[in-house]
Amino acid sequence: KVHLRDPEKVHLNAPVQQLPRALIVGVRKGGTRALLEMLNLHPAVVKASQEIHFFDNDQNYARGIDWYRGKMPFSFPHQITIEKSPAYFITEEVPERIFKMNSSIKLLVIVREPTTRAVSDYTQVLEGKERKNKTYHKFEELAVDEATCEVNTKYKAVRTSIYTHHLERWLHYFPAEQLHVVDGDRLISDPLPELQLVERFLHLPAAISRSNLYFNATRGFYCLRFSLLFNKCLAGSKGRTHPAVDASVVEKLRRFFHPFNQKFYQITGRTFDWP
Ligand code: A3P
């Protein structure tokens, strides 16, 4: 018979800080927060609430793996920890660093239609500038080079949306099977099927159900239901109104992204109905 105070037993059951066994590596404005919060509905998932920026920030990385572990939430051995830092996806050094920590880690990338994502990215930066009372360029001026009238690939919001460029770097280290692509547009419109695909990818028993998610008409987004008494919508900074963008610029960007998208579908084996 095991007594509650049996020191061995207490030790075995005690929650510990575990390194993540899955990472949401990006992409910025893809819906990374919604994905993390929704996966956290699963009893076997424990989220790192903050973005730790361990692998993309040289100073943090230099602090070492024990520092990273120390940032993790306490969890039980049967649970998996998930961290998300959206800049991981586009940062050169990150795949190698993650590989060195755990070469069999599961990677999640959530993407949205590239032009929408770029506008969302712009909207976030614009909001920051407005808060500081700074003037800022229009999206059209940043996304299209004035002299050449071509898409400006130096603009970060454009570069980040060339998903295939970044993905190819990851595939130098990780086999495609270790990386799962989440459809961020579908996570907005109908999240459950996307979450079920992730459960399967992470080899978790199906536990997230319709009853965990409800559409909040005021927010215009799905919110989370943890119990009868505890509901939660994402912060107001998620689901911003985007500025209207000149139709010809949208068209130009969509044409520009098209060949990169085709390559992305080919590599991931997942086709999206992006225009
Ligand atoms: P917008 O603000 O452009 O609408 P990230 O967390 O990676 O920064 O992504 C933010 C995006 O998550 C938001 O972009 C929003 O569209 C999307 N999103 C997906 N599901 C959501 C949800 N249930 N509630 C709020 N935003 C959600």
Domain-wise residue ranges, the chain:
7-268
Other CB atoms closer than 10 Å to residue 75's CB: what's the count?
Answer: 17
Q: In this structure, what token pair is assigned to residue 49?
A: 């609430």
Dist. CA 29 → ligand 1 center (Å)? 7
pLDDT of 7 above 80 = no
Give 16's pLDDT tier (boundaries 50, 70, 90).
very high
> Which protein residue has the closest C-alpha to ligand 1 atom 18?
31
Dist. CA 239 → ligand 1 center (Å)? 5
What is the predicted pLDDT for the residue at 1?
Answer: 44
Dist. CA 182 → ligand 1 center (Å)? 13
> DSSP letters of 167-188?
HHHHTTTS-GGGEEEEEHHHHH
Considering the domain delimited by 7-268, tell me its CATH architecture: 3-Layer(aba) Sandwich (3.40)
Q: Would you say the ipTM is above 0.90?
A: yes
Q: Is the CB of 272 under 6 A from ligand 1?
A: no
Dist. CA 238 → ligand 1 center (Å)? 5
Summarize pLDDT for 24-34 with one digit per residue, the tens: 999 999 999 99
Which residues are bridge partners to 216 per DSSP? 221
Check: pTM over 0.90? Answer yes or no: yes
Summarize pLDDT for 63-99 with one digit per residue, the tens: 999 999 999 999 999 999 999 999 999 999 999 999 9
Summarize pLDDT for 217-270 with one digit per residue, the tens: 999 999 999 888 899 999 989 999 999 999 999 999 999 999 999 999 999 999
CA–CA separation, 51 vs 41, rounded Å?
18
Q: Is the CB of 112 under 6 A from ligand 1?
A: no
Q: Is the CB of 187 under 6 A from ligand 1?
A: yes
> DSSP letters of 18-62?
---SEEEEE-TTSSHHHHHHHHTTSTTEEE-SS---TTT-HHHHH
pLDDT of 9 above 60 = no
Q: Is the CB of 34 under 6 A from ligand 1?
A: yes
Q: In this structure, what token pair is assigned to residue 47?
A: 């989220």
Nearest to 256 by CA among 179, 159, 122: 159
Q: Is the CB of 125 under 6 A from ligand 1?
A: no
